Amino acid sequence: MSRRRQIYEGKAKILYEGPEPGTIIQYFKDDATAFNAQKKGTINGKGVINNRISEHVFTRLAHIGIPTHFIRRLNMREQLVRQCEIIPIEVVVRNVAAGSISKRLGIEEGEPLPHTLIEYYYKDDALGDPLIAEEHIACFNWASNEEMQDIAAMAIRVNDFMCGMFAAIDIRLIDFKLEFGRIYDGDYSRVILADEISPDGCRLWDMKTGEKLDKDRFRRDLGGESEAYQEVARRLGLLQGDDNAPGEVFDLSAHRGRLRGTPKPKK
């Protein structure tokens, strides 16, 4: 197999040149970071779980008409995705006060918000991903007014769908982060959902116990990170041996191996 050309390495993923023009291979790492990479560590098997959970969520979102960059999962840690121009804005959708909004506004963590709140952050680790307003986005031409309307509409639709999806498995969706990109057809461009959706970028609490099933376990030194990620995958029916598993599942005990039902890569 010829050596692939690496395009970019981020905190949680590596991007490689895809097999066809306009495609990228997205590799999920076990690396974990918090507080804009000031805290670093490893969550064993995280990349495998996030790859599978993100595939599951993106596939279901596509079924309700959300355009995404996801094409297919290639193996335990890799996805084939459409190449797009990432819009330099992180979109955070909040249903319940937690994390930075609790610190900024003095709202008790766990308090439901009066209505779903959408926040925007400028994607720049060196600046600490600062909170921005739509006026900043328009002023610096990071996205057009039409693109922002599409982004806000998609964010609300994704939130509505995911709240129901997680509630069905007794998980409360507190908040989550989305990223969007542009794809071009001649002079015309449209916005699609990009990056990933996984416990790395979502706050997920058990509805009965309030137990955190996301990266806050790493941020706050709570321990049990791998088990929490596995629990989310298990409830979604993605673990081997789960009778509710929809289609192909995987065995976490062999996360260094290959997905059941996936051909071995050619040497």
> How confident is the model over 233-244, as pLDDT tens digits?
999 999 864 444
CA distance 132 to 158: 21
Task: Check whether 259 has a pLDDT greater than 60.
Answer: no
Which residues have a Cβ under 8 Å from the Cβ of 196 and sit 6 or more positions away?
12, 13, 26, 28, 50, 54
CA distance 206 to 211: 5
Do the beta carbons of residue 145 and residue 135 sit within 8 Å?
A: no
Q: What is the per-residue pLDDT for 36?
A: 73
Kindly state whether residues 187 and 135 are assigned to the same domain. Answer: yes
Average pLDDT rounded to a whole number, residues 164-183: 98
Domain that holds residue 241: 6-84+229-253
Q: What is the per-residue pLDDT for 256?
A: 38
Q: What is the per-residue pLDDT across 127-172, written as a single tens digit (0 to 9) for each?
A: 999 999 999 999 999 999 999 999 999 999 999 999 999 999 999 9
Kindly state whether residues 137 and 201 are assigned to the same domain. Answer: yes
Average pLDDT rounded to a whole number, residues 76-87: 97
Kindly state whether residues 72 and 161 are assigned to the same domain. Answer: no
Kindly state whether residues 120 and 188 are assigned to the same domain. Answer: yes
Band of residue 206 on the pLDDT scale cut at 50, 70, 90 = very high
Do the beta carbons of residue 1 and residue 267 sit within 8 Å?
A: yes
Do the beta carbons of residue 182 and residue 85 sit within 8 Å?
A: yes
Task: Check whether 76 has a pLDDT greater than 90.
Answer: yes
Task: Check whether 258 has a pLDDT greater than 50.
Answer: no
Average pLDDT rounded to a whole number, residues 112-136: 96
Total domains present in the chain: 2
Whether residue 212 is contained in a domain is answered as: no
**CATH number of residue 80's parent domain:** 3.30.200.20
Q: How far is CA 165 from each of CA 29, 161, 203, rounded to the nearest angstrom?
A: 25, 6, 14
Kindly state whether residues 109 and 132 are assigned to the same domain. Answer: yes
Whether residue 149 is contained in a domain is answered as: yes
Indicate the pTM of the whole model: 0.88
CA distance 176 to 216: 12
Q: What is the per-residue pLDDT for 185?
A: 87
Average pLDDT rounded to a whole number, residues 109-119: 97
Q: What is the DSSP string of 115-160?
A: EEEEEEEE--GGGT--EE-HHHHHHTTSS-HHHHHHHHHHHHHHHH
Tokens of 136: 């900043």
Whether residue 198 is contained in a domain is answered as: yes
Band of residue 250 on the pLDDT scale cut at 50, 70, 90 = low
Kindly state whether residues 179 and 96 are assigned to the same domain. Answer: yes
CA distance 98 to 140: 29
Kindly state whether residues 248 and 137 are assigned to the same domain. Answer: no
Whether residue 172 is contained in a domain is answered as: yes
Q: What is the per-residue pLDDT across 20-30, written as a single tens digit (0 to 9) for each?
A: 999 999 999 99
Whether residue 219 is contained in a domain is answered as: no
Band of residue 2 on the pLDDT scale cut at 50, 70, 90 = low
**CATH number of residue 189's parent domain:** 3.30.470.20
Q: What is the per-residue pLDDT for 95?
A: 98
